[in-house]
Structure 1
């Protein structure tokens, strides 16, 4: 069985209060009415036990202790879950007041015309106000749930990025201390054996030794490249700007005629951002530059950075082939990785791309 509504009528005129009760008495089930002649009485009623919640307020504009607009503002200062839908009642000469009431958060208004037509509209207006209130509450709860979800997702992305940093540092350390040292020992041993046997070896043996020497050198270079990939040089010691400078220099052998430019705003010399922010920004820039060179075949790539100690704006733009529609969707792994890194530091991420007209990757971070 549907619960009877509890309606608060705030009006210092007893006749008008009686008219409201009669007009709304047609609702099914008939409402329970609470009356207040002043704003103070209305506030007292609304502050009472939650067991007797008011579902809707009919509020007259002209009250002896406070005008209805001021009381409306006071009512809307409450938390959204404690707010009550308010229908403003005005005289025929107070239509601008009704408009202002809507601007200040009233659910609706009724003009008390001399013919009494507003009495016929009152049940419909109150029902609409109640439905609007339910929609507002549902939207607010959905927004709260979405905010919690985003917060949880951001926390997860942060933990994943922390795990990635820990894992890559550990792997880099192992490569340096174990495989790197092993290769160095192989090189020393091979050189020693080659020097000892040089005079005894045949030409085929010398050629074979040269090939082995080249393979050892290649393995050493590849390990060094992996170490650079796993542990961005200079990032921890000298910061994001120097690390990106170095990254562009290291990309030079693979440019094949492409032009890389790095623009930084004035005043950024010596600026450092939080370690997580610098790491995420560096990895996003590296991914975007690599995509532009390897996949979009760009002839020009522009990396730009702006901001201050509490904000960072990074942009990587290229003139390449752009991202095909089937790869620009959120599920594409490279894009997902960049989005997750931005999410982990609470930054905004955007990707702008038109097939055949280039791509721009944007990261915008502001300290909380």
Structure 2
């Protein structure tokens, strides 16, 4: 029973963690509930705002479309009034006598021909309208009739133009392209200077959209936008035909400034990032605020298109096929949601009923639903306050539970655990003779007893491991000595057998050469060839002996071994080997062997791969360090690249690291290779 009570008391320490976990879970649940409410409210708010905004935008677009239609129709109505006025005056036979009016041109005789013969014009500085007539069409009775009939427009044009808000000019064009224009802007000089007069020499009224063959319904025709050559910016014109009965007598036109229309469009911004644009009946861009035309395109624009008003008059299908198809499919007035250059937007569309044009307003969807974010932030603030209050209450319970828990843990857990921790630290420091007191008969007491048993077992195992390690080191030394002796034995056997045989061949060849001096034509050349083979074989065998086991490292030292290695390389591969050695270094045999093997591998690579003609081998002792350097003038390589199969490039740094040295290789294609090994001396 005592054991159970003590264990139960210690379990009370878990209350602190439980209360903390409870507080966190409660706060998380409250936060999650508020977060879900925030998302739901924000979504409902966004949906409501979006629906309301769609309806408002549709209504706004329809109203603006009607206003634009009325304004443009007002301009077109001025041309209709002038055309009807001329027809009625002709039909009534009450055409006023223009000759009585001052400064009014009513016949071709009043016109002046330009010096280049391209243009007839009214040179009167007090003229009330501009009169132009193409130089390639000599004036005749038709010309006089056009001038006489249109003279009544002199007083009508100013009042008609004043009634339009965006009209900048009104004009009459006769069958021979006789042109009467108001107001006076110095058109003759402009037409002659900008080449328009020359280009008009081949013009024919039959090619105009308002002509009978192109407009049999005799309707007012709107022309595509164009840049005015008289400096009035972008214009769009409406032309109304003039008929005397069934006889076509030209047309009345009015120029409407798109610049003014664009200024009005720029003010049509339901939200900061929205804009409006106007399309004609053919889907061409009529008007769009400055800087917004490029936003409609879903492709890179040319330099010409990027210029100011560079996209006006362009077909929307060529700029943004997706937007054009979506607008064509919509039934105005309507609103559709699409992505414009990666940004979700609402696009409304309404028709200008009398012109067949359409007005569209583009509004970023994020700006429409921006108010819903305010609702979300308010809910989030309430959630933070609620979670804060909840956690504060939980903290009060936590403090009380923590006080009780700390007292219990200090009495029943902290003291035994401190003793256990001291024992663990002693073991970590290397003291395996430590033991901890067993102060209870519960799990902690059992843990202390098990800890003491563990230290005893560790003491015993440590002694066994020390003994085993010593035995392994002895065996490793014995294996190394056995391998060394075996290599020496093999080297001696190769020297006593093959090398002596090759030496005998060389000696016998020299003897045969001496004997054959009497008759050199018979055997001299074959024996000389045998002699060269024998000498080469002798050099090769000596090199193999040094590569198998350089005995000179123990007897003669590292310098002597490197000298013999360089001599063998020079004899075997006919290379120019230059050596520079300091006195024999005072380093261990293991270090000497490693340096010798590195030099051997490096020179082996030079002979096989470098295609070098010169090798420099040096062993220098300076500043407390021994430096081995192998330098060649070969083709070089990129050390950073992997070279599968070339184990020497891997073994050389490993050998250097094994003796505490630093290995460095420097090479690049076409610049040779330098290998440097630095070993502390001493």
Which TM-score band (shorter chain)?
0.3 to 0.5
Q: Normalized against structure 1, the TM-score is what?
A: 0.46
**Rg (Cα) greater in structure:** 2
Q: Normalized against structure 2, the TM-score is what?
A: 0.28
